[in-house]
Structure 1
Amino acid sequence: MLLATMLYRVSHLTVGLLAVLQHQRDQPAHYAALFVALALSVLLFGTALRRGWFDRRFLWADILVNGATLPLALCAWGGADQSAELGWVMLLGTSSSAAAAVVLRRWTLLGAVALLALTHLLGYRLVSAGTAVILGHTNSLLFSAAMAWTFWWYLRRQGRMLDDANARTLAAEARKARYAERLEHHLMLHDTVLATLTTLASGSVDANSPHVRERCAREAARLRRLIQQTADEEAHQSIAEALEGAVADAERLRLRVTVQCHALPEVPSEVATALADAVREALNNVRRHAGTDHAYVTATGDASRRSVRVTVVDRGPGFDPRNYEPGLGLRRSVHDRMAQVGGRAVLDTAPGEGVRVELRWPG
């Protein structure tokens, strides 16, 4: 609205300049009036551009001087005795009314517009303008204010609607983020604490062995941080370090893991974490379901393409994937975690052929 009303004023000043050069070239009062109108316009709109909005003091100066005083001054001292000689300065009142419509409140605005309208009526009466000229210019003044006020009301209304929509979107995103955080906590518990408890309950490991006790202590500390809402795991520096942690967790529960790594590239920490978490869950599945105590992890990379491929293989009995419904661990802890970082997980198995889980990044 600031730019729109400024362009409106520029059009009126342009008309004034052309009128003075063509018809009042030999009348210094008209040059002085044009200079005053230009100076006040620069003060009003220049200050508004710097500050971001209109200064009411300068707006009232524009209304009182450009809109109300200059037309009467030209009639009294500028020798204006025809409507054509007065028309250009009357136009300044219409752009003053437009600026007032976006700044002033209701009753103050009505008073300003009434003052400008009376100035139009009085000024044109002094130069004996026709009724059509008086009504036409007064109509232009009134509707300039009405249109500016309507546009400003509509923009504010749309802005409030947009703010409300943004607020609803932010609230929905906050709920989504809280749900994602809870889901991540559930997955962490599934992959660590629940896996440990399941193994201890099965009796396949000695609960008093140092390795098992060490793992239980680590997971108790992790739970404590989670309860205190400070469960920010230290970011892994590399894929190798991330995989080492996942393999160490599995080996503490008496799963032998043969690991081979080759030419692993640097990747974002969230990718390394996702790969490690997916490998951890795949090894948990080997220990729980494969009927074997040995698994193989192979990690290779392509530095030129900045890609990684990690496989987890067991030589257990395998299964028919057509008759298999993925559980929470495989679906969320493996497939979903890889998808969240732009990767992919592929399961390859058949009865009697063992299970091969391949993790790829990028997918």
Structure 2
Amino acid sequence: MHAIRLHAFGPADNLTYEETEAPAPAPGQVRIKVAAAGVHLLDTALREGMTGPFPAPAELPTVPGREVAGTVDALGEGTDPSWLGKRVVAHLGMAPGGYAELAVTDAARLHELPDHLGEAEAVAMIGTGRTTLGILQFTDLGPDSIAIVPAAAGGIGTLLVQYAKNAGATVIGLAGGPEKVARVRENGADLAVDYKEPTWPEEVRAFLGTRGATVVFDSVGGDTALAAVDLLAEGGQHLVFGWSGAGLHDGEPLTFTEEELAARGITSEGVLGPVMIQKAGGDVRNLELAALSAASAGTLRPAVHRFPLSEAAKAHRALETRGTMGKVVLVP
């Protein structure tokens, strides 16, 4: 089979497309003929050997990637035979191996796909979709809500805009460049602005009038997030789940002291990791099921940016330079 392998930590060019031995499923596992593999911004940090929510690979070479969808083509000993031939999606958890034509995982991680849900869209929902719904557990959106969504043309941002509009909220989407702004507007945002333009906060204030935003979904940190938080009304929420705008691998999330929060009359909290899983009943599969159900029903429609598997390095470079829209997916 062909796979992307990383032999040494470093830049995107260290990702090489190679022919390698096909994996065999262990007891209780399945092997998936991969039709789509998800690429996450975190993958770019792991590629450089950095440790965060997931540890850097302990041994090299490694096949990166933790999100796959495709068809089960082989079973390990003791695995339920009914899985054979089914279209499935899975998050591989702590085990990499997704950037490949074949991948193995525990049968317990599988979700069967309905006929009308494509593999690329399923891959978007198994990771990005579950995170989006996890974030949304921390706020209650409704017709009185005014949500600011930085990185609104990204995978999570696209889904946040759709969810908020479905809830009746007013949505302000921030994106970098005219093409992305147009995409955010097409996705349903009431106002879409280019955060690269220094006057964007004034444009939002003119739109809001005497109102203030009720929630900022912050995945970017840095000056953009601070300017967005300045638009919050008293009682507003700042929900933090990333800081890509503060430096992809070495930035810091936007934080406030208790005194600063009291002076602003707002709250700020990080919503990733154990606190998100705890809110989901202690099982991340609850979020996966909800995300896949929403995509199947058409209430959430993930945006997908496809690259051939052989161009994984190009996909990483595009992510790192903010040259993508939606969820990045590799297609063997």
> Larger Rg: 1 or 2?
1
TM-score (norm 2): 0.20
Between Structure 1 and Structure 2, the one with more helix by share is 1
Between Structure 1 and Structure 2, the one with more strand by share is 2
Greater relative contact order, per chain length (Cα 8 Å cut-off, separation 6+): 2
TM-score (norm 1): 0.18
